[in-house]
Amino acid sequence: MTRSDNTDSIQQAASDWFARLQGDAGLEDWTAFQAWLEADPAHAAAYDAVEALWVELEELPPEHVAAPATAPAETVVAFAPRPKPPAKPPARRWVWTGLATAAAAAAVVVAVLPQLTRPTFTDYTTKRGETREVALADGSRLTLGGATTLRVRLTRAERDVTLVDGEASFDVAHLENRPFVVAAGDREVRVLGTEFNILNHHDRLAVTVRRGLVQVSGGPDGAVRLAKGQQLIHTRGSAASLVRATDPDAAFAWKTGKLVYRETPLVEVVADLNRYVATPIRVDPSAASVKVTGVLVVDEEAAMIRRLELFAPVISQHSGSEILLKAKPTRL
């Protein structure tokens, strides 16, 4: 293999690694990538050239970046900066090789430009009753509850997440200069490193902190800070939010298959259950004022309904398309 062929092969590999690490890369991918970097100094140089060109492309106005004719369905997420090996003064004979490497990198990036100019968000979703754990490249770990949609974009300046709908817990890696920001409904949660849970469903938002400190903004009162054991409750469209003390473990219990309620309106309980059961549940007006206290185990649908009937004064009526919860008749 000639030096030119070898350079082309390295540049292709560097571009492949760059595109691969923009997606849902796991620990095995990052381990293999590090091994590839350390195998040959030319690998790191080639990757740096690809990365540098991509940074320049990111900073261009949108009108200067050509969009692909047909965009693939999946999206990619920007990666966390990787630790670079100590720089060594290059020998003079490698100067021209370095220039050739950069030129080859530019050519390869242009070739894969349609792949790299896609929106830099990655979508994560779960079905009803499903939970999913996601490890981000920055070291943060997310857990998605049932029927949840979440979008992630990691950049060098910030880590952006949108909780479109559903529930998710966040164990955020502490990075001083890269805040972790979650958009949920009409509020924004900003942290540097902490563990918290967010429920954003049916215009209802609940932010619960188990470790660290978060800041919720977007309301007329400005930013609200929440510490360990505090919870913010907000209904989309309303001006005020409620901040109260709570047991954070109760908010995280869904991760172990339990839903914990304490004097919770039945309509809110049903909104949660509808993310776990196949048959839609609806609350009859007769049971609109019912409140629920108890622990519901996430289980088979019929078993969950039976437990709910034990915890609350309701009865269920089944039809082919839904389950209707009515207030239990009072005895005379």
The pair of structure tokens assigned to 8 is 């082309």
Is 49 in contact with 18 (CB distance < 8 Å)? Answer: no
* Percent of the chain at pLDDT exceeding 90: 48
Q: 18 pLDDT band (50/70/90 cuts)?
A: confident
Is 188 in contact with 216 (CB distance < 8 Å)? Answer: yes
* Secondary structure of the chain as H, E, C letters: CCHHHHHHHHHHHHHHHHHHHCCCCCHHHHHHHHHHHHHCHHHHHHHHHHHHHHHHHHHCCHHHCCCCCCCCCCCCCCCCCCCCCCCCCCCHHHHHHHHHHHHHHHHHHHHCHHHHCCCCCEEEECCCCCCEEEECCCCCEEEECCCCEEEEEECCCCEEEEEEEEEEEEECCCCCCCCEEEEECCEEEEECCCEEEEEEECCEEEEEEEECEEEEEEECCEEEEEECCEEEEEECCCCCCEEEECCHHHHHHHHHCEEEEEEEEHHHHHHHHCCCCCCCEEECHHHCCCEEEEEEECCCHHHHHHHHHHHCCEEEEECCCCEEEEECCCCC
Weakest-pLDDT range from 152-156, 163-167, 288-292: 152-156
Which segment, 22-31, 111-120, 141-150, 311-320, is predicted with the most confidence on average?
141-150
Model's pTM, two decimal places?
A: 0.62
Q: Where are the domains of the chain?
A: 3-84+92-116, 122-251, 257-327
The pair of structure tokens assigned to 292 is 């629920």
Average pLDDT on 74-86 reads 39
Q: 202 pLDDT band (50/70/90 cuts)?
A: confident
Given CATH 3.40.630.10, say whether it is the number of domain 122-251. no
The pair of structure tokens assigned to 108 is 């390869």
Amino acid 239: pLDDT: 77
Q: 28 pLDDT band (50/70/90 cuts)?
A: low
Rounded CA-CA distance 299/261 in Å is: 16
Give Cα 282 to chain centroid, integer Å: 29
Rounded CA-CA distance 165/161 in Å is: 12
Amino acid 324: pLDDT: 95
Average pLDDT on 192-212 reads 92
SS3 302: helix
Amino acid 2: pLDDT: 61
Whether pLDDT at 242 is above 60: yes
| DSSP 8-state assignment for residue 86 | P
Average pLDDT on 146-158 reads 91
Q: Which amino acid makes up residue 128?
A: R
Which top CATH class is 257-327? alpha beta
Q: 253 pLDDT band (50/70/90 cuts)?
A: very high
Which of 5 and 200 is assigned the larger pLDDT? 200
| DSSP 8-state assignment for residue 289 | T
Rounded CA-CA distance 269/150 in Å is: 22
Q: 66 pLDDT band (50/70/90 cuts)?
A: very low
Average pLDDT on 186-200 reads 91
Whether pLDDT at 20 is above 80: no
Question: Which of 258, 255, 259 is closest to 131 using CA atoms?
Answer: 255
